[in-house]
Amino acid sequence: MSDEDGPHGFEGYLVNRARNKQAAQQPASTRAHDINRVARFDGSTPAMHWLSAAWSPDGSQVAVGGWHAQGSHGGELEIWNGRTGQHEGHSTRHLRHDLAGHVISLSWSPDSTHLAAIEKDRKSGRHVLNVRSQAEGKRPISLPEGAEISQVAWSPDGSLLAVTSRGARTALLIDPANGQLRRTLEDVSGPVAWEPGGHRIAGPDGAQIAVFDAATGQRERTITGQQYKATAVAWATRGKTLAVSDGEHIRVIDADTGERLWNLPWVTSEGDRSDDSSVHYLGWLDSGRYLLEFRKHGAYSRSDANTLIGTVALWDITTRSLFSFLFHETINHVQYPPAEILVGPQGGRQTLIFFDDCPPQVWEISGDLPGYAP
């Protein structure tokens, strides 16, 4: 909650028709739990617009990319210490050097030493792929002519980069060491997501979900039943469960059988909903029992009906209970939706929230959650 949040802040928004109706239909929780801001990262980032974020697998660094409204080159890449919140500007200057332009997608290598970045070249307007590290600086990766890219995801074993775009019809699996194209996944577009073990990769095929064997590039399964193309896909931290967006709903699916396990609705009360129901991000907590969803412009402000605000919901999918619902930061009496949301490494209890012009904030689930297993 911001320093100025009052009745129209995080807590105020919890008390609405949807929450009251849902609470009446669900058994009361027997354990105390809460979501609180536990830290703000340091540093000043005026005139920043964040477009991408990545928390290194070992938790040591947080990378945030975007563009600077007042900078000559336009692109911006900032690094913070993920444990202390300290801004690591000078110490990571080689990793951040020579940006092509706006930084639109980021992914850390499993050993947390290299950062894959898709940048929009300010001269040509094309999206380019670079692998960056403090030791080696920037290393460009050549892509096939005409390749559409807007998302990069590093495989859990470090051997491949999955590169794709929402408008593409293929996903490219690239060797990050030498830039060679290893495999092409046909009839799939972004966003794609790696299974935690790295054996499979999933992504939208129109209104279907395609699951591929990453080693062979062969389609293993096509999951039907969706009405809309997914805008977010996430594998549970453990197990074989997929969460995919489907219009206003989120479907939780058994990836081995294609069986639909749960259907999570858009919980914003009808009078507060915006026209944009798209899910921007999905992330699993606590080994796959809890699912966090982020809709960047999912609702209208209670205090200003013309202001679009973001919505963040945390679900216990086994009981389909909604634990908390967050939506904006108030700074100098102005409401700002979150720019990015990011669950901590290994599906832990911490979540990063990014607001434009501000460093990251850390929010953490405190107290006992039913069924929580560390």
As for how many domains the chain has, the answer is 1
Tokens of 39: 């830290």
Q: In this structure, is residue 187 part of a structural domain?
A: yes
How high is the pLDDT of residue 249? Answer: 94
Contact 191, 233 (CB under 8 A): yes
Domain assignment of residue 355, yes or no? no
3-state secondary structure of 199: coil
Higher-scoring residue by pLDDT: 364, 275 = 275
Of 327, 247, 320, 313, the C-alpha closest to 282 is 313
Q: Does residue 197 belong to any structural domain of this protein?
A: yes
Report if residue 123 sits inside a domain: yes
187 — alpha (psi -120 to 50), left (phi > 0) or beta? left
Q: Domain range spanning residue 126?
A: 33-339
Report if residue 364 sits inside a domain. no
Average the pLDDT over 74-93 and give the result: 92
Q: Is the pLDDT of residue 314 over 70?
A: yes
CATH number at residue 241: 2.130.10.10
> 165-169, 180-184, 267-271 — which is least confidently predicted?
267-271
What 3-state class would DSSP assign to 93?
helix
Q: How far is CA 139 from the centre of its chain?
A: 25
pLDDT of amino acid 254: 93
In whole angstroms, what is the distance from residue 97 CA to residue 117 CA? 12
In a domain, 373, yes or no: no
In a domain, 93, yes or no: yes
In this structure, which amino acid lies at residue 6?
A: G
pLDDT for 11 beyond 60: no
What distance in Å separates the CA atoms of residue 193 and residue 196, rounded to the nearest whole number? 9
Model pLDDT, residue 368:
61
Q: Is the pTM of this model over 0.75?
A: yes
- Residue 111 inside a domain? The answer is yes
**8-12, 105-109, 113-117: segment of lowest average pLDDT:** 8-12
| DSSP letter (8 states) at residue 187 | S
